[in-house]
Amino acid sequence: MIQTLSRNNLIILVVIVAAIWLLPLVLNSLWIKVVTSAVIFGLAAAGISVLFAQLGLINLSQIALVGIGGWVLLRLNYATGLPFTISLVAGGIITAIISSILALPALRMRGLYLALVTLMTAGAFQIIFNAFQFPNGGEGFWGVAQQSAGAFRRPLIAQSDVSYLRYVLTVAALCIAVAGVHRLTTPGRAWAMIRQSEANAMAAGIDVTFFKMWAFALSGFMAGIAGGLLAGALQQLDARTFVASDSILLFALAIVGGVYHWLGALIAGLLFKLLPALFNDFGVSADLTLVIFGAALLHAIMTAPRGIAGQILSGFAGLVKHRETSHD
């Protein structure tokens, strides 16, 4: 079974790597930007998966954390001469620190109560973003200029939209790989015990507070990196991009895509950004996607708890088993 899953992962990985190099050759500039945004929000969805899959915790502030990472990247980009990648990592670390503070309510709350607290946090940051906006090269702490924005610096190896898409895919893959290593090592084992029973975990000597804050920090780091990548893709950010309701939508799509496999996060990002863009391209209202997402969420909850990714992996496993049986 493990060998089959590894083979499935390898096949899917090969397909995605091929897509990385082939898609920019066939997509126009508009769709390259759409796919870039889809991958970025897929990374943010992967951060949601860390909390929900490992600890069963619901965080509805992920979009706000993406905004924080974007704000930090923009401020460092305009105010300092730091390379883009260093500013990106700094934004991820600062967002991770802020996210770990959200773990404090999680020490005593779960389920609906934790969801409400994190949603209120997202609403608070939405108000802050609307009131102060995002840095664009101005003076002062907020760095907002009333006239034209300053010059934005992308990575030297990712100046064009095509090369930046590949840069985003590489960074997203590294972040998801880091999360995967966490799941297979000490933090993952600790999270599994905490999810089963916090009392038993404490009896086994696990520091529940520390590992919950660690999970929130990792989730926030991935959101912060996603925000920095989004700032690099758009080269400016607007408060309307980070409304609190989108956090609910992204969480729902993470469930639909599948929180137990990295492919699910990618699917969530594609549904979040690519599907509405396709509807608009065909002249259909993008609001219709909400109906589709609602139906998909009901389907995931009732019949496919492992999401679309789980169904894809099961399909691959069935094909491989059928092929091996037919050869025998």
Containing structural domain, residue 42: 2-327
Q: Is the pLDDT of residue 293 over 80?
A: yes
Q: Provide the number of structural domains found in the chain.
A: 1
So what's the pLDDT on residue 127? 94
* Chain center to CA of 306: 17
Token pair 């660690």 is found at 214
Question: What proportion of the chain, given as a percentage, has pLDDT over 70?
Answer: 89
DSSP state at residue 271: I
So what's the pLDDT on residue 323? 67
Range among 80-94, 152-166, 310-324 rated most confident: 80-94
Token pair 């905490």 is found at 194
So what's the pLDDT on residue 47? 94
8 Å CB contact between 136 and 78: yes
Give the residue among 133, 94, 129, 91 at the shortest CA–CA distance from 228: 91
So what's the pLDDT on residue 92? 96
8 Å CB contact between 169 and 39: yes
CA separation for the pair 71, 168 (Å, rounded): 18
8 Å CB contact between 271 and 293: yes
So what's the pLDDT on residue 320? 62
Q: Can you tell me the mean pLDDT for 240-248?
A: 91
So what's the pLDDT on residue 327? 58
Q: What is the pLDDT of residues 154-198, one digit of tens each?
A: 988 899 998 999 899 889 989 998 998 898 899 999 999 998 888
Tokens linked to 7: 């083979």
